[in-house]
């Protein structure tokens, strides 16, 4: 029989040491192997890589604006829902009150006689009609006010977003424009938003260049066409989609 190999005293075998090392815990209570996996996951995760559009704008910016707009829209809808809920609760209370009075009238009718009961029932029905008219008369102004407030918020925020978007589109188109006499053709609605900003756009150009904004119904809303003696840049959305 062969002799068994002796194991040196003081250190466990290599495979056993590896298992024990893998079971060691960190200060946070995690095993060493678990900690390595977490650190690897952090390294692999990384950051979102911005993707440029045809004008060099990052999609991440648009997503942020859309996210903010969605948040505001949710707040407006929540406000409308709470107002409608309050109206429904008031209507429910009114209905319960009317039903209670009607039941009491019926009981009085049985006790005092049929004729008196019919008269009481008629009076209660008249009260119901009056209460119904009062309810709608009181609720209608509140509902109309709420609708107007929501419309103003939505329209105002939409107009502000469209103005900022148009400023970015025109700025990026002007950066690519060549020539000294530049004309920016805009849809009439966009022209109204940007006409007062024309001097600021002009300041960004070289002093030798001449800039002029012009409204044109042919131009697609939300886009523009930049013309000069050198060439034309079509920054309309439809044109960009066709190019893709």
CA 104 to CA 234: how far, in whole Å?
77
Q: What is the pLDDT of residue 5?
A: 52
Residue 58 has pLDDT above 60, yes or no: no
The Cα–Cα gap between 49 and 26 comes to: 33
Distance of CA 17 to the CA centre of its chain: 56
- 8 Å CB contact between 109 and 121: yes
Please state the domain count of the chain: 2
Model confidence pLDDT, tens digit, residues 190-202: 999 898 889 888 8
Instruction: Answer yes or no: are the C-beta atoms of 211 and 182 closer than 8 Å.
Output: yes
Interstrand relation of 210-215 and 232-234 (parallel, antiparallel or unpaired): unpaired
- The whole-number average pLDDT for the span 92-96 is 76
> Higher pLDDT residue, 34 or 226?
226
Residue 218 lies in a domain: yes
How do residues 229-243 score in pLDDT, each as one tens digit?
999 999 887 777 666
Average pLDDT rounded to a whole number, residues 150-166: 64
Give 186's contacts (C-beta < 8 A, 6+ positions apart): 166, 170, 194, 213, 214, 215, 216, 219, 224
Question: Is the pLDDT assigned to residue 156 strictly greater than 60?
Answer: no
**What's the rounded mean pLDDT across residues 13-22?**
49
More confident residue, 81 or 169: 169
Residue 37 pLDDT > 60, yes or no? no
Contact call for residues 52 and 240 (beta carbons, < 8 A): no
46 pLDDT more than 90: no
Same domain, 118 and 193: no
Q: Are residues 156 and 64 both part of a single domain?
A: yes
Could you tell me if 69 and 161 are in contact, meaning their C-beta atoms sit under 8 angstroms apart?
yes
Give 143's pLDDT tier (boundaries 50, 70, 90): low
Alpha carbons 184 and 228: distance in angstroms, whole number? 9
If you average pLDDT over every residue of the chain, what do you get? 69
The residue out of 160, 187, 203 marking a domain boundary is 160
Tens of pLDDT, residue by residue over 197-216, are: 898 888 888 876 889 999 99
72 and 125 belong to one structural domain: yes
Pair (63, 143) in one structural domain: yes
Q: Rounded mean pLDDT of 125-138?
A: 72
Q: Clarify whether residues 138 and 182 are in a common domain.
A: no
Is 130 within the bounds of a domain? yes
The answer to whether residues 149 and 220 belong to one domain is: no
pLDDT of residue 61: 47
Q: Are 228 and 181 in contact (CB under 8 A)?
A: yes
Angle at 118 between CA 113 and CA 119, to 5 degrees: 100
Helix (H, G, I), strand (E, B) or coil at 1: coil
Look up the domain containing 228 and give its range: 177-243
190: its two tokens: 């966009």
In DSSP terms, 178 is beta-bridged to none
The percentage of residues in the chain with a pLDDT greater than 90, rounded to a whole number, is 12
Residue 135 belongs to a domain: yes
Task: Check whether 168 has a pLDDT greater than 70.
Answer: yes
> How much is the pLDDT for 233?
92
The Cα 116–Cα 173 span in angstroms is: 84
CATH number at residue 227: 3.40.30
Reported confidence tier of residue 35, pLDDT bands at 50, 70, 90:
very low
Statement: residue 33 has pLDDT above 90: no
Burial of 187 per CB tally in 10 Å (0-12, 13-18, 19+)? buried
Structure confidence by residue, pLDDT tens digits, 103-131:
776 666 555 556 666 676 677 777 777 77
- 120 and 184 fall within a common domain: no
């Amino acid at each position: 029989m062969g002799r068994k190999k002796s194991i040196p005293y003081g250190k466990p075998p290599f495979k056993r040491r590896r298992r024990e090392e893998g079971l060691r815990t960190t200060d946070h209570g995690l095993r060493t192997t678990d900690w390595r996996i977490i650190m690897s996951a952090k390294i692999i995760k990384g950051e979102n890589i911005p993707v440029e559009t045809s004008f060099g704008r990052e999609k991440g910016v648009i997503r942020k604006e859309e996210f903010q707009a969605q948040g505001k829209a949710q707040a407006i809808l929540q406000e409308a829902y709470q107002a409608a809920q309050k109206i429904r609760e008031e209507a429910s209370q009114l209905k319960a009150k009317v039903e209670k009075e009607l039941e009491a009238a019926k009981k009085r009718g049985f006790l005092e006689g049929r004729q008196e009961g019919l008269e009481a029932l008629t009076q209660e029905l008249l009260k119901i009609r009056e209460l119904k008219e009062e309810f709608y008369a009181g609720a209608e102004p509140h509902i109309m006010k709420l609708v107007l407030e929501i419309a103003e918020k939505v329209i105002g925020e939409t107009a502000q977003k469209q103005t900022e978007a148009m400023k970015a589109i025109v700025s990026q188109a002007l950066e690519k424009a060549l020539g000294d006499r530049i004309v920016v053709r805009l849809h009439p609605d966009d022209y109204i938003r940007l006409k007062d900003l024309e001097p600021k756009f002009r300041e960004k150009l070289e002093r030798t260049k001449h800039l002029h904004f012009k409204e044109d119904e042919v131009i697609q809303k939300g886009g523009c066409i930049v013309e000069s003696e050198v060439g034309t840049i079509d920054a309309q959305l439809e044109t960009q989609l066709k190019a893709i």
